[in-house]
């Protein structure tokens, strides 16, 4: 006879919310006691969050713990090899089942598959749910039964697949177990950056309430301008939901539904809402790519790039990381990243392109820097976008499309507001020269208080020469650039 008081363990991972959480909903509905668990996982092969992401995680866990407490529950924290911790806790508490939300990176899949089998072998129930995606990465198939490799048809298929969007509310109360297992102290995990602590200016309000507030602010204030303004780094037109989505403080179904409802209420928002939902769908597409290419962060999606002659002289890398390349748009982006843990998408593209094409540094080096410094660093979105910029990725921008940081600046930061904000030593420079200060006459520089090579660096590479060098390197690739 199954014990009705045997608890359900809800293993939280990147689903740090209570609403629209199918695993938590199932646990609450079972009527059993619920033990919410978070493990700071040390499983080999599972990518550990970078330093900036750990800062976010720290705050997000505090928010989740508070939200659970308000429902009569408690978040149990433990650190180590997750499968061992979950299995031990299940045994210790006499749990009837363990439930969680699925993740789609290779390391997590291997870990979770083995754990599910082990739990079932020992007579427990184990069930996983989808809380992170609109569509599971294996669900959409092309007419010939293959996986999508091109975004536009994928988007069409995704939109056609979207059906019932009803969402689960957060449970009002959670039944507590007879006694609570022991928990780590979050402070002892020291998730906060140290030596140096560069987190003082980090952007965002981690946690479910912060995510909901951000979504509503965006829908009410910024959605109308999104289609026009999303490419302007100095503007505020994007949703800034990426870290919330990465940590699962909000689900894509909640976001999708809110944008569609806004467009339904105010039809003039439709074009902007469509653009927004299409950007959100890149997240889905990238998860599909990651699921089918678990080594996305380390291997070229297009193997033709395996012979690319990357430069191994990395003296310019330090300048790139510190935002001192002498190219103001690149430097503004890199400094925004360091100061806030986020970077506007347009600046990410410009900075990544500069590293890969102007400096000929392997995209994996940049991917790892972003992994450590972005609060939204994501197993799917980060490598997929780096490969997109490099040209080695799925449906990627061709390698030979080389961004000019000056041209990008003139187009997307015409008055130089973004550069002035993040590169204050150029703040007084005439807009005509702000994206190429080395072209300014001496008296213009002097009036703005700029001394090249002293107050602001000269360019680390010459744009035209770097462009030619990149195109020559690309021409050397032998095999055709077709996807695998």
Ligand X SMILES: Cc1cc2nc3c(=O)[nH]c(=O)nc-3n(C[C@H](O)[C@H](O)[C@H](O)COP(=O)(O)OP(=O)(O)OC[C@H]3O[C@@H](n4cnc5c(N)ncnc54)[C@H](O)[C@@H]3O)c2cc1C
The residue count for binding ligand X (CB under 6 A) is 27
Closer of 379 and 425 to ligand X (Cβ): 379
Residue 234 binds ligand X, judged by CB under 6 A: no
Distance of closest approach, residue 338 Cβ to ligand X, in angstroms: 15
Q: Exposed (0-12), middle (13-18) or buried (19+): which is 143, by Cβ within 10 Å?
A: exposed
Closest C-alpha among 114, 53, 34, 39 to residue 82:
39
Q: Which of 68, 87, 131, 245 binds ligand X (CB under 6 A)?
A: 245
Nearer to ligand X by Cβ, of 74 and 272: the residue is: 272
Q: Tell which one of 93, 242, 373, 387 touches ligand X (CB under 6 A).
A: 242
Residue ranges in 358-377 that form contacts with ligand X under rule CB under 6 A: 370, 374, 376-377
Compute the least distance from the CB of residue 120 to ligand X, in Å: 34
Q: Does residue 282 have an active-site annotation?
A: yes
302: tokens are 């297009």
Region 266-295 residues binding ligand X, contact defined as CB under 6 A: 279-280, 282-283, 286
Any contact of residue 43 with ligand X (CB under 6 A)?
no
**The residue to which tokens 């809402």 are assigned:** 273
Could you give the CA distance from residue 60 to residue 75 in angstroms, rounded to a whole number?
Answer: 12
Rounded to a whole number of angstroms, the minimum distance from the CB of residue 228 to ligand X is 13
Strand order in the sheet with 97-101: 76-80, 34-41, 8-12, 97-101, 125-129
Residue 135 within binding range of ligand X, rule CB under 6 A: no
Measured CA to CA, the distance from residue 87 to residue 323 in angstroms comes to: 46
Segment (H or E) for 101: strand 97-101
Q: Does the active-site annotation cover 363?
A: yes
DSSP state letters, 122-153: TT-EEEEE--S-SS-TTT---TTS----SHHH
* Kind of pairing between the strands at 97-101 and 34-41: unpaired
Closest by Cα among 194, 161, 182, 153 to 92:
182
Q: Does 325 bind ligand X (CB under 6 A)?
A: no
Nearest distance, CB of residue 34 and ligand X, angstroms: 29
Q: The dihedral of CA 256, 258, 261, 267: what is its sign?
A: negative
By CB under 6 A, the residues from 377 to 396 that bind ligand X are: 377-378, 381-382, 385-386, 389
Binding-site member from 32, 246, 253, 435 for ligand X (CB under 6 A)? 246
Residue 183 or 270: the one with the smaller Cβ distance to ligand X is 270
List binders of ligand X among 385-444 (CB under 6 A).
Answer: 385-386, 389
Report the catalytic residues.
279, 282, 310, 345, 363, 386
- Residues making contact with ligand X (CB under 6 A): 230, 238-242, 245-246, 279-280, 282-283, 286, 345, 348-349, 352, 370, 374, 376-378, 381-382, 385-386, 389
């Amino acid at each position: 006879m199954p014990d009705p008081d045997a608890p359900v363990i809800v293993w939280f991972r990147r689903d740090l919310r209570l609403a629209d959480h199918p695993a938590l909903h199932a646990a609450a509905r079972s009527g059993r006691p619920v033990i919410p668990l978070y493990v700071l996982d040390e499983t080999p092969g599972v990518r550990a969050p970078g330093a900036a992401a750990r800062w976010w995680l720290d705050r997000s866990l505090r928010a989740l713990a508070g939200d659970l407490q308000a429902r009569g529950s408690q978040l149990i924290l433990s650190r180590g090899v997750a499968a061992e911790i979950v299995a031990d806790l299940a045994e210790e508490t006499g749990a009837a089942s363990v439930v969680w939300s699925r993740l789609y990176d290779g390391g997590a899949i291997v870990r979770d598959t083995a754990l599910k089998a082990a739990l079932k072998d020992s007579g427990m129930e184990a069930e996983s749910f989808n809380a992170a995606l609109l569509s599971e990465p294996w669900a959409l198939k092309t007419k010939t039964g293959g996986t999508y490799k091109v975004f536009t048809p994928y988007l069409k298929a995704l939109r056609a697949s979207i059906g019932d969007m009803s969402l689960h509310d957060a449970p009002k109360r959670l039944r507590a177990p007879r006694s609570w297992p022991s928990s780590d102290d979050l402070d002892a995990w020291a998730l906060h950056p140290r030596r140096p602590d560069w987190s003082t200016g980090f952007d965002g309000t981690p946690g479910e309430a912060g995510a909901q507030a951000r979504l509503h602010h965006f829908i009410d204030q910024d959605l109308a301008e999104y289609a026009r303004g999303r490419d302007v780094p100095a503007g505020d037109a994007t949703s800034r939901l990426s870290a919330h989505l990465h940590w699962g403080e909000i689900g894509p179904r909640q976001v999708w539904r809110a944008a569609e409802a806004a467009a339904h209420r105010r039809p003039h928002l439709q074009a902007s809402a469509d653009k927004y939902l299409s950007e959100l769908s890149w997240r889905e597409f990238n998860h599909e790519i990651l699921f089918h290419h678990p080594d996305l962060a380390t291997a070229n999606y297009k193997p033709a790039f395996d012979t690319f002659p990357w430069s191994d002289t990395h003296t310019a890398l330090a300048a790139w990381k510190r935002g001192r390349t002498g190219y103001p748009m690149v430097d503004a982006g890199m400094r925004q990243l360091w100061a806030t843990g986020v970077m506007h998408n347009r600046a990410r593209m410009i900075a990544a392109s500069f590293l890969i094409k102007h400096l000929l540094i392997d995209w994996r080096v940049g991917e790892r820097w972003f992994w450590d410094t972005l609060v939204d660093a994501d197993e799917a979105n980060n490598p997929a976008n780096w490969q997109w910029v490099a040209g080695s990725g799925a449906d990627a921008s061709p390698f030979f499309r080389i961004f000019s940081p000056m041209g990008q600046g003139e187009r997307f930061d015409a008055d130089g507001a973004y550069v002035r904000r993040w590169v204050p030593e150029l703040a007084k420079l005439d807009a005509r020269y702000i994206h190429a200060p080395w072209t300014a006459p001496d008296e213009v520089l002097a009036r703005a208080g700029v001394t090249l090579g002293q107050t602001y660096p000269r360019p680390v590479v010459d744009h035209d020469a770097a462009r030619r060098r990149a195109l020559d390197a690309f021409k050397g690739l032998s095999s055709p650039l077709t996807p695998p």
